[in-house]
Amino acid sequence: MSLMFFGKDPDTDEDHCPTVWVDRENADLVFQGWRADGETEKKCLEVGPIPDTEAVIRIPARMVAQIRKACDAAERSAAELR
């Protein structure tokens, strides 16, 4: 697996750092974020179950620019893979 790094939370303390990457092999976005609290998960469960293989995470809004760049790169990569 080869990941393209796009950035960490600019306000991180280096130990708790939401991060975004794009997988070069399949153009998937990969996120590291804070686990959602119980209240957030409960609200998400109103839409449907959360499988054991998935998690609800929070990414700070201040990372939107990094996520936007990662989305653009993922879109370009996915087009090349087709």
What token pair was written down for 15? 């130990």
Other C-beta atoms closer than 10 Å to the C-beta of 74 total 21
Is residue 29 within 8 A of residue 70, CB to CB? The reply is yes
Alpha-carbon dihedral sign for residues 46, 47, 49, 54: negative
The rounded distance, in Å, linking the Cα atoms of 62 and 79 is: 28
pLDDT band, residue 72 (cuts 50/70/90) = very high
pLDDT of residue 12: 82
Instruction: Write out pLDDT tens, residues 9-58.
Output: 988 877 778 999 999 999 999 999 999 999 999 999 999 999 999 999 99
pLDDT of residue 79: 92
| Total-model pTM | 0.84
The rounded distance, in Å, linking the Cα atoms of 19 and 74 is: 15
pLDDT of residue 44: 97
pLDDT of residue 6: 93
